[in-house]
A and B are shown apart, each in its own frame.
Chain A
Amino acid sequence: QQQVKQSPQSLIVQKGGIPIINCAYENTAFDYFPWYQQFPGKGPALLIAIRPDVSEKKEGRFTISFNKSAKQFSLHIMDSQPGDSATYFCAASKTGSARQLTFGSGTQLTVLP
């Protein structure tokens, strides 16, 4: 019940395309859903996050869509650029003293020039 399932495993788009990465969760106690971006040789870095009281959050070219009833959330990258090529991880955590993150398995995104 702690799992976060992420798809697809890899994704290739042309520059300017809109890649979409999907995640699904089981634990309804989760109340914070961040996305992390990881470049080769680097640690993950927080990209954008959402709480279940809103259905969408946008920061620059990155948008999270959240469907509470379906227990799913997704990341959309508008006008994707070759510099967006990286591995993206969704994660989830729940209120509590630990607030630990449970990560998805990751999506390797390649944006072709």
Chain B
Amino acid sequence: EAGVAQSPRYKIIEKRQSVAFWCNPISGHATLYWYQQILGQGPKLLIQFQNNGVVDDSQLPKDRFSAERLKGVDSTLKIQPAKLEDSAVYLCASSMYRGQGRSSYNEQFFGPGTRLTVL
């Protein structure tokens, strides 16, 4: 089965410019996540979609970040305008629930990420 696809893999921009990242999840995965991974840290959730609806965007800096998931499949994450502290790897993940009830769990599959450098 094909994995989570992301593009571009690398992006270098000047501060105050805008940038967009694209993600294609694993076919059939209803849940999609965007994470920010700063060098030396664990992934931090930015936004979670269930189909094309937002489940949680509480940690998304909404003054500059936006995300959408049209038709419940592909998703884009945009930053406008970018700041120096936005330099990070942006990871997309998709998941499906396994098991039932309390024994259910959420195996997330991650894409390779987009490394953003803001100068």
Contacts from A to B (Cβ < 8 Å): 6, 31-32, 34, 36, 41-46, 49, 51, 89, 91, 93, 95, 97-101, 103-106
Distance of A45 Cα from B112 Cα, bound (Å) = 10
Main SS class of interface, B: strand
Name the contact of B106 in the complex, choosing from A36, A99, A104, A106 (C-beta under 8 A). Answer: A99
Contact residues in A for B25 (Cβ distance below 8 Å): none
Contact residues in B for A42 (Cβ distance below 8 Å): 112-113
For residue A89, give the distance in angstroms from its CB to the closest CB of chain B.
5
For residue B16, give the distance in angstroms from its CB to the closest CB of chain A.
28
Stretch at the interface among B37-45, B60-68, B78-86: B37-45
Name the contact of A31 in the complex, choosing from B45, B93, B102, B108 (C-beta under 8 A). Answer: B102
Interface pairs (17), CB distance under 8 Å: A32-B106, A36-B110, A41-B112, A42-B112, A42-B113, A43-B4, A44-B43, A44-B110, A46-B107, A46-B109, A89-B43, A97-B50, A99-B104, A99-B105, A99-B106, A100-B33, A100-B56
Whether B40 lies near A105 (C-beta < 8 A) is yes
> How many residue-residue contacts, CB under 8 A, span A and B?
62
- Given A31-B102, A46-B108, does the pair A105, B4 have CB atoms closer than 8 Å? no
Whether B106 lies near A43 (C-beta < 8 A) is no
Whether A32 lies near B105 (C-beta < 8 A) is yes
> What 7 additional pairs, Cβ within 8 angstroms, besides A42-B113, A91-B42?
A32-B105, A43-B93, A93-B105, A93-B106, A95-B104, A97-B50, A101-B108
Name the contact of B110 in the complex, choosing from A43, A95, A98, A105 (C-beta under 8 A). Answer: A43
Whether A49 lies near B105 (C-beta < 8 A) is yes
A interface footprint on B43-73 (CB within 8 Å = 1, 0 otherwise)? 1110010100001100000000000000000
Whether B44 lies near A103 (C-beta < 8 A) is yes
Residues 87-110 (chain B) with a chain A CB within 8 angstroms: 91, 93, 97, 102-110
Whether A98 lies near B107 (C-beta < 8 A) is no
Whether A104 lies near B42 (C-beta < 8 A) is yes
